[in-house]
């Protein structure tokens, strides 16, 4: 990958156990540490700095039943450590802590400027610990550490700072009314206890995306980290306490989504649910939240079209399309996974895209020249390889890759298919892996129709030198974000979210704060002369 852009206007191109006593488990923790294998001394020290428990009411505690699960090193499949596994009873305790912190604690009542100051402090702490957090993220997730260091962490820091700046600017208004001698004003107030469920592909960044707007508005949070990647979430929870976030305001749990995630999404004392993940799970989350009539925001899957026009700079388009698909091992909801190339340049594009994939460096995510690390888990690894085999069977032409890379861990060869048809599984299903599907198009009307012929609508790309073509395509595409002559550019101020089954609501920007607040209207009689009325 040639470049990354991030901070500011730049972006990425490139439980409180109420009334219950929990027994100490120090001997078990020592055993857990001893189980960690194949880590350098520095990495082992970073792992040892994490409290692998549940953060509830400002304390790191074991689960009520003492259950744990293993988080794995995707480079080898070996265990990193054991982490406390949240149960439905632990969810109750976490929600109780958040409920108490909201109903009786200082967080929603202190001036917004003070909440902003604490969020700025949290961002500063992430910046202070950037290197250790980047290494922890890459160990747990498998992404190249230089991407964690130069993309995930800087974007998370800038996101928190953006919402820190909003904390004292959330305001209502005075509303002119037609009722004589009456004043009407509105307030924007926090919703209450927010359940937030984050994915494993950008764990720390997604945690920042969720916490920033929720906290700046004065809500309290129970955040569930993905069971595949809990470590940076737990460490960031600890940093929240260090920054001055009051006990119970941020609670961090992890475990099986079907247990803890379901209990959290449907909890009767939660006031809102925010989820990032697959469309399939998003539908379940929405059903669970519906019993309580809770509002939801969902950032879900995608099958994003990336349209290469006949006048595009082909070398630049090849590189950008490669990045759009292969970044983060293809584990991006916005991945440009349907590469539509005009028939006039199709053969040349396929040849160059194949060569680029063949030259992609796959290996240890801690090596400085690695572009692609392992997939996050064996489950994801097996799913991707299965879809590759389906592509072969359905007649797509395998140009390169298609199998395992190496003999251990969850590495997959960069894979390119040409002659892909719209009805093929690899052109319809979200693969979430390093598999590029290249399709041929002829007319603009045709490519717009085909690009929109999907249940998804998260993002899209357009590569052309012709302004009219760029405008025509970007206006015609049914997607929440369209990148023109670039891809995967994000900024905290710009709303991000999907059309259709790619989600509900928006992350980022002023619009996101609306999802974490509600409007209260207050009428007050005015005494005095009628002339006071507007």
Q: Over 80: is that where the pLDDT of 3 sits?
A: no
Between these two residues, 380 and 31, which has the higher pLDDT value? 380
Cα torsion 140, 42, 52, 15: sign: negative
| pLDDT average, residue stretch 310-331 | 98
pLDDT of residue 439: 98
pLDDT of residue 530: 57
| pLDDT average, residue stretch 282-304 | 97
Domains of the chain with bracketed CATH:
26-299 (3.40.605.10), 305-484 (3.40.309.10)
Bridge-based pairing of strands 68-73 and 459-463 is unpaired
384: left (phi over 0), alpha (psi -120 to 50) or beta: alpha
Q: Could you give the CA distance from residue 285 to residue 301 in angstroms, rounded to a whole number?
A: 14
Share of the chain above pLDDT 70, in %: 92
Q: What is the pLDDT of residues 83-122, one digit of tens each?
A: 999 999 999 999 999 999 999 999 999 999 999 999 999 9
Residue 20 — very low, low, confident or very high, per pLDDT cuts 50/70/90? Answer: very low
| pLDDT average, residue stretch 15-25 | 30
Q: Residue 408 class from Cβ within 10 Å (0-12 exposed, 13-18 middle, 19+ buried)?
A: exposed
Q: Over 70: is that where the pLDDT of 471 sits?
A: yes
| pLDDT average, residue stretch 469-482 | 98
Residues labelled as active-site residues: 299, 333
Integer CA distances (angstroms), 449 to 401, 439, 454, in order: 30, 14, 10
Length of the chain: 534
pLDDT of residue 38: 67
pLDDT of residue 217: 98
Q: Over 50: is that where the pLDDT of 258 sits?
A: yes
Residue 26 — very low, low, confident or very high, per pLDDT cuts 50/70/90? Answer: very low
Which DSSP symbol is given to 330? G
pLDDT of residue 393: 98
pLDDT of residue 4: 41
Residue 216 — very low, low, confident or very high, per pLDDT cuts 50/70/90? Answer: very high
Q: What is the pLDDT of residues 40-93, one digit of tens each?
A: 889 999 999 999 999 999 999 999 999 999 999 999 999 999 999 999 999 999
Q: Over 50: is that where the pLDDT of 29 sits?
A: no
Residue 214 — very low, low, confident or very high, per pLDDT cuts 50/70/90? Answer: very high
| pLDDT average, residue stretch 266-277 | 98
pLDDT of residue 527: 85
Between these two residues, 130 and 4, which has the higher pLDDT value? 130
Q: What is the pLDDT of residues 489-498, one digit of tens each?
A: 999 999 999 9
Residue 394 — very low, low, confident or very high, per pLDDT cuts 50/70/90? Answer: very high
C-alpha count within 13 angstroms, C-beta hemisphere, residue 478: 17
Residue 449: CB atoms within 10 A of its CB come to 12
pLDDT of residue 529: 60
Q: Which of 37, 51, 432 is nearest to 232 (CA)?
A: 51
Q: Could you give the CA distance from residue 381 to residue 389 in angstroms, rounded to a whole number?
A: 13
Q: In the predicted model, what is the mean pLDDT of the chain?
A: 92
Q: Over 70: is that where the pLDDT of 467 sits?
A: yes
The helix-helix angle for 130-141 and 203-216 (nearest 10°) equals 120
Integer CA distances (angstroms), 526 to 145, 177, 180, in order: 62, 12, 9
Write b or e for each residue in 259-298: b if 16 or more Cβ atoms lie within 10 A of its Cβ, otherwise e.
bbbbbbbbbeebbbbbbbbebebbebbbebbeebebbbbb
């Amino acid at each position: 990958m040639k470049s990354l852009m991030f901070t500011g206007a730049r972006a990425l191109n490139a439980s409180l156990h109420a009334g219950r006593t929990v027994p100490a488990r120090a001997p078990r923790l020592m055993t857990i540490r001893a189980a960690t294998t194949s880590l350098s001394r520095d990495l082992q020290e970073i792992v040892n700095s994490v409290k692998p428990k549940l953060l509830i009411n400002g304390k790191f505690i074991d689960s009520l039943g003492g259950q744990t699960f293993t988080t794995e090193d995707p480079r080898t499949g070996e265990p990193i450590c054991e982490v406390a596994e949240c149960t439905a009873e632990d969810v109750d305790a976490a929600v109780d802590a958040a409920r108490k912190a909201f109903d009786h604690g200082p967080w929603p009542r202190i001036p917004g400027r003070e909440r902003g100051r604490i969020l700025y402090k949290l961002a500063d702490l992430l910046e202070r610990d950037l290197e250790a957090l980047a290494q922890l993220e890459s160990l747990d997730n498998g992404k190249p550490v230089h991407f964690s260091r130069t993309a995930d962490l800087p974007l998370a820091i800038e996101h928190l700072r953006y919402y820190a700046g909003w904390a004292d600017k959330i305001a209502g208004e005075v509303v002119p009314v037609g009722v004589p001698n009456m004043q009407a004003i509105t307030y924007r107030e926090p919703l209450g206890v927010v359940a937030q469920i984050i994915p494993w592909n950008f764990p720390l960044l997604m945690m920042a995306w969720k916490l920033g707007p929720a906290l700046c508005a004065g809500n309290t949070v129970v955040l569930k980290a993905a069971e595949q990647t809990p470590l940076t979430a737990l460490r960031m929870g600890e940093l929240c306490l260090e920054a001055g976030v009051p006990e119970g305001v941020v609670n961090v749990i992890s475990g099986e989504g079907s247990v803890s995630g379901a209990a959290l999404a449907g909890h009767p004392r939660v006031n809102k649910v925010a989820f990032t993940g697959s469309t399939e799970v998003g539908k379940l989350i929405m059903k669970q939240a519906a019993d309580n009539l809770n509002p939801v925001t969902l950032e879900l899957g995608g099958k994003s079209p990336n349209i290469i026009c006949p006048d595009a700079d082909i070398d630049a388009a090849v590189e950008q399309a490669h990045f759009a698909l292969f970044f983060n091992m293809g584990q991006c909801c916005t991945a440009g996974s349907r590469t539509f190339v005009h028939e006039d340049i199709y053969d040349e594009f396929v040849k160059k895209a194949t060569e680029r994939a063949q030259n992609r460096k796959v290996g240890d995510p801690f090596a400085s020249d690695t572009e692609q690390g392992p997939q996050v888990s064996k489950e994801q690894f097996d799913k991707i390889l299965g879809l590759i085999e389906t592509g072969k069977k359905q007649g797509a032409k395998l140009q390169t890759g298609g199998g395992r890379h190496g003999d251990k861990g969850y590495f997959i060869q960069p894979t390119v298919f040409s002659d892909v048809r719209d009805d093929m599984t690899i052109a319809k299903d979200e693969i979430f892996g390093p598999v590029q599907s290249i399709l041929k198009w002829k007319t603009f009307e045709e490519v717009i129709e085909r690009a929109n012929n999907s249940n998804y609508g998260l993002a899209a790309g357009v590569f052309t030198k012709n302004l009219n073509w760029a405008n025509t395509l970007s206006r015609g595409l049914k997607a929440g974000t369209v990148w023109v002559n670039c891809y995967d550019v994000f900024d905290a101020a710009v709303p991000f979210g999907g059309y259709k089954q790619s989600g509900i609501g928006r992350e980022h920007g002023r619009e996101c704060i609306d999802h974490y607040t509600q409007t209260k209207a207050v009428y007050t009689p005015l005494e005095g002369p009628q002339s006071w009325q507007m």
